[in-house]
Amino acid sequence: MRVYLKLALACLLTGGFVCAHSGALSLNSRQMDAATHAGAAALPYFVYGKTSLQDLDAALKNADAPVRLSDTYPAVYHHSLEEAPAHKEEAPAFDSMETATRHLRQILKSKGVSDAENYLITAIDTAVSDGFILTAAIYRPDKTISVFNKFNFLARQTLSPADPEFFRAYRVDVSGDPQDIIYDWAALPTDCIACRECQAVFLTLTANKILEKQAKDDFWPQERQWIAGNHLSVLIRQDMMVSQALGIEKGFTQNLKISKN
């Protein structure tokens, strides 16, 4: 199934962005620096903390991040970050991982990545009705893959970019050989990637983790938990790790009173 993200109460406000919730998550400069290194998993802290795009861009610069929002906007939206308020109605938010992947590749190409076409953003959307999605940024060397169906392990599939299932992560192919490399993953509330400004931050954080080239093998057991219906456990566990890295006692799941019970 294509991953359609319902647009929540999200919009651009005076160079910043907000989503449907507003938690007490404003970050100091040290926490901002730590969050820029955490990848897409830190996205809710920027969104719910109402961090302005300009402040985040400055934090990325201070952290020596190879990709900043001031890089993402020209690469994806064809105008500068400073011009964003004037152009906010011109380009819709992406509504599928196919479109998100195209945007990611535009960023990577702008940074001179020669094999940008081998990187994808994938998603498991089984919890979208509950307001959550599991994303992964992957490297896939092949344009066509033969894998077992993600939800029926007896069914073989040959997939190309024309197939929605192509935009899911696969650990091995039908022969048992390694298939995808995970470079970043995140369990997220869907409203955190509902608006274009939030998506720009998501793409920027994801591109930076790809350029680090550090595989994230911990994704696969978390994906199994997610598919089994334990998505809140995955979300809360991830948030605990991010909040500890940021030195925050209560993460966004606690601020928004998200519970697995």
Residue pLDDT, tens place only, 73-110: 999 999 999 988 766 656 667 889 999 999 999 999 99
Strand partners, 186: 135
Residue type, 180: D
pLDDT band at 241 (very low <50, low <70, confident <90, very high): very high
Q: Supply 18's token pair.
A: 């907000």
Q: What is d(CA 34, CA 42) in angstroms, rounded to the nearest whole number?
A: 9
pTM over 0.85: yes
Number of H helices, E strands in the chain: 10, 7
Q: What's the number of domains the chain is made of?
A: 1
Query: CA-to-CA distance for 56 and 197, rounded, in angstroms?
Result: 12
Residue 170 lies in a domain: no
Residue 184 lies in a domain: yes
Q: Which domain holds residue 20?
A: 11-140+180-255
Question: Is 148 within the bounds of a domain?
Answer: no
* Average pLDDT score over the chain: 88
Asked if 44 and 189 count as a contact pair (C-beta separation under 8 A), the reply is yes
**Is 34 buried (19+), middle (13-18) or exposed (0-12) by CB count in 10 A?**
buried
Q: Within 10 Å of residue 213's Cβ, how many Cβ atoms?
A: 9
